[in-house]
Amino acid sequence: MCGICGIVGSTNQSVIERMTRSLAHRGPDGSGVETFPRHELALGHRRLSIIDLSTRGRQPMTNEDGSLWISFNGEIYNYLKLKASLDSERHRFASETDTEVILHLYEEKGPAGFADLNGMFAFALYDAERERLFLVRDHLGIKPLYYTIANGKLIFGSEIKAILESGVCSPEIDWQAANDFFSFLYVPAPRTIYRGISHLPPAHYLEYDLQRRCIVKIENYWDVAQWGMEPEETDEQEICAKLRTLMTESIAGQMISDVPLGAFLSGGVDSNIIVGLMAAQASKPVKTFTVLFEGDDLDYYDERREAKRIAEKFGTEHHELPIDLSRPEEMLDMVDHFDQPFGNTTFYLTYLLSRYTREHVTVALSGAGGDELFGGYPRYRAVRAMRYLRYIPQTAARLALAAVSKIRDDFADRRLHRIRALLNGIDKNPANQYLKWVYYLDEERKGLLLRDRHQSQPSHRVLQSHLDRIPAGWDDGNRYSYLDVETFLPDNLLEYSDKMSMAWSLELRVPFLYPRVVEQAFRIPFDLKMNRSGSKAILRKAFADLIPEENLRIPKKGFNVPLGSWMRTKLDRYFDELLPKGYVDREGIFNYDCISQMREEHRLGRRDNSYELFAVLIFDKWYRKRITNQTE
């Protein structure tokens, strides 16, 4: 696991070294830079050693004759299988790394070989003979890759900060991206908050002509929707057997490591399955890591009892981390790791858990993706009823919402918030309805908060563009599961998983996102994933022997911070300190009266505005640091 960067149009050593240094946290074990004057290309690399810890794994790496070079971030889990399939007489390997396999796979198959890679990756591959540079990102978007073309130069990196460190482009706000941020609490790819800087979408590669200095194409090499819906598999025993085989195969590949390895363990089904399968294949106890929430007011979030049952069942070397939530304002400083506004506060828990886990291991496995693929989120219940709910008269919905709004919210959990969102979100446009159910500020409320929206387009267009690609015949549950896999998963969950784990040089692997598991998940009718027996029904059945019986009866809690109560207490004062009326009016981004109203509604429990208010705080923190260069 590493950090990569590069620039076409400059071989200035100090520039590429500065860009590479900005990614030092992603790879503390080594640094490498190569320049290629013929094409004015420079590649940088920071290394976190996982496989082949010797100096033979140094990057950027070349093939036998120096015609190909690569700067690679990630892990290829099937690299040994791919290596065995290559023409042994044609290739000479100088290392035991997965990186070198990519070079020789490209020699044989060209860009068509990218789809054969099973792993998490982002890499730049330089083909000197064809005068091409390829930027490639993994199937599900586990690893990030940003790029821009500015002043005739192509600049790219694992993080936006590497691009900014080049000094070639100055940071300017993309106001459409800002508008979308206040709906999603993240910026949907391919946009970023910076005008002109893009995020390469998952399962895509960018081909750049080094002679003509232009992008030849940006192409999708894999999309689960392209498979259509094969004949629905309804034999539950057969489905369970396939899931068991594929997940076992995924875990086996992801346990390959030359450094200590462990797993994040909550009380949920997903991490339970991963730990159980790891324990079956491990030669010694698996190291597991769980967060503890102290205090009666945080009991709703605490899963220590469920996690301990799992740890005892599999005899893991279990570690518990009591979370210190006394300084939630620390979250605001983490904008440095994202380089753009990011408002899902789960990143804070991942940051703290990654810091603790890194003290014991270098690699950890996570259950990310299980909810999106197997119906784990409460919102999927609403999706199943969507075709009926949209016909509820607006008058009736408004009356019900008015009645529910009178109930004072103590923010102990999010259930009342979900009921209000459900009633408020009823809309004949499915994409707009889903945005209101799942996300935050709709167009009307953004119009009140943002003083100048720069003629931005409505944010539900992002969702609609993905829904439009789904073949006819998919059931509603799988349609919206696919939508989440395309948007919520890479741009939100995987984004904070990468940034927060890499802040501590911890490699975080995600076995549920093995492409064959994803393909299989979308061949399963949604009624087998979520039904009367609960969410993730098919997973619970397939792996029933791995899940403690008491845990099967526990409702999903989620991995969250108590933001609702924090926004009434510890975080509320930051509006008075950082966003007084004079400052807000002078900068001209927000409507001060709207912020005041949201704070008042939240304090009185009339409406849970915690995430919307946090979005304002984190956006301002980013704006001061990156746009106006203010320290406070």
Place 352 in a pLDDT band, splitting at 50, 70 and 90: very high
Residue corresponding to tokens 């070989």: 113
**Mean pLDDT over all residues of the chain?**
89
Closest to 124 (Cα-Cα) out of 103, 107, 140: 103
Catalytic residue, candidates 2, 169, 240, 594: 2
- Least confident segment among 107-111, 197-201, 204-208, 435-439: 435-439
Q: In this structure, which long-range contacts are made by residues 412-418, counting pairs with CB atoms below 8 Å and at least 24 apart in sequence?
A: 412/297, 412/300, 412/564, 413/300, 414/558, 414/560, 414/564, 414/608, 416/608, 417/608, 418/378, 418/379
Helices (H) and strands (E) in the chain, counts: 29, 17
Residue 30 has pLDDT above 70, yes or no: yes
pLDDT value, residue 515? 95
Residue 413 has pLDDT above 70, yes or no: no
C-alpha distances (whole Å) from 414 to each of 73, 96, 411 are 37, 49, 7
- Given a contact cutoff of 8 angstroms between Cβ atoms, the answer to whether 367 and 264 are in contact is yes
d(CA 59, CA 399) in angstroms, rounded, equals 63
pLDDT value, residue 257? 81
Helix, strand or coil, per DSSP, at residue 29: coil
Q: Taking residues 546-569, report their average pLDDT.
A: 82
Q: Taking residues 435-458, report their average pLDDT.
A: 87
pLDDT in tens, 238-269: 999 999 999 999 999 999 887 889 999 988 99
Place 417 in a pLDDT band, splitting at 50, 70 and 90: low
Nearest 5°: the CA angle 51, 518, 513 is 30
d(CA 596, CA 580) in angstroms, rounded, equals 10
- Given a contact cutoff of 8 angstroms between Cβ atoms, the answer to whether 551 and 310 are in contact is yes
- Least confident segment among 129-133, 255-259, 337-341, 498-502: 255-259
d(CA 141, CA 190) in angstroms, rounded, equals 12
Helix, strand or coil, per DSSP, at residue 359: coil
* Cα dihedral 71, 77, 83, 86 sign: negative
CA 114 to chain centre: 21
Higher pLDDT, 172 or 228: 172
Place 412 in a pLDDT band, splitting at 50, 70 and 90: low
Helix, strand or coil, per DSSP, at residue 332: helix
Residue 54 has pLDDT above 70, yes or no: no
| Kind and range of the H or E run holding 335 | helix 335-338
Residue 225 has pLDDT above 90, yes or no: no
Residue 196 has pLDDT above 90, yes or no: yes
> In this structure, what is the dihedral angle of CA atoms 74, 77, 81, 85, given to the nearest 10 degrees?
-30
Most confident option among 52-61, 140-149, 167-176 = 140-149
pLDDT value, residue 455? 73
Higher pLDDT, 559 or 600: 600
Q: Taking residues 538-560, report their average pLDDT.
A: 85
Q: What percent of the chain has pLDDT over 90?
A: 68
pLDDT value, residue 552? 79
Residues 6+ apart with CB under 8 A from 613: 567, 571, 575, 595, 598, 599, 602
d(CA 219, CA 135) in angstroms, rounded, equals 11
- Given a contact cutoff of 8 angstroms between Cβ atoms, the answer to whether 351 and 500 are in contact is yes
pLDDT value, residue 364? 96
Residue 1 has pLDDT above 80, yes or no: no
Residues 6+ apart with CB under 8 A from 355: 503, 504
Q: Look up 169 and say whether it is catalytic.
A: no
Place 228 in a pLDDT band, splitting at 50, 70 and 90: low
DSSP 581-597: HHHHHHHTSB-HHHHHH
Percent helix / strand / coil, the chain, rounded to 5: 45, 15, 35
d(CA 231, CA 248) in angstroms, rounded, equals 24
pLDDT value, residue 260? 84
pLDDT value, residue 422? 67
Crossing angle of helices 592-603 and 610-622, rounded to 10°: 140
Q: Report phi then psi at 516, rounded to 5.
A: -70, -30
C-alpha distances (whole Å) from 571 to each of 561, 565, 597, 626 are 13, 9, 16, 22
| Partners of 61 in the β-ladder | 70
Q: Taking residues 485-496, report their average pLDDT.
A: 97
pLDDT value, residue 58? 80
Rounded to a whole number of angstroms, the CA Rg of the chain reads 24
Residue corresponding to tokens 């999706």: 383
Higher pLDDT, 404 or 131: 131
Q: What percent of the chain has pLDDT over 70?
A: 88
- Least confident segment among 23-27, 492-496, 537-541: 23-27
> In this structure, what is the dihedral angle of CA atoms 363, 367, 373, 377, given to the nearest 10 degrees?
-140
Crossing angle of helices 460-467 and 430-438, rounded to 10°: 120
Place 429 in a pLDDT band, splitting at 50, 70 and 90: confident
- Could you tell me the domains of the chain? 2-222 (3.60.20.10), 226-319+341-375+502-552 (3.40.50.620), 561-632 (no CATH)
Q: Taking residues 277-297, report their average pLDDT.
A: 88
Higher pLDDT, 463 or 224: 463
- Least confident segment among 155-164, 189-198, 290-299, 387-396: 387-396
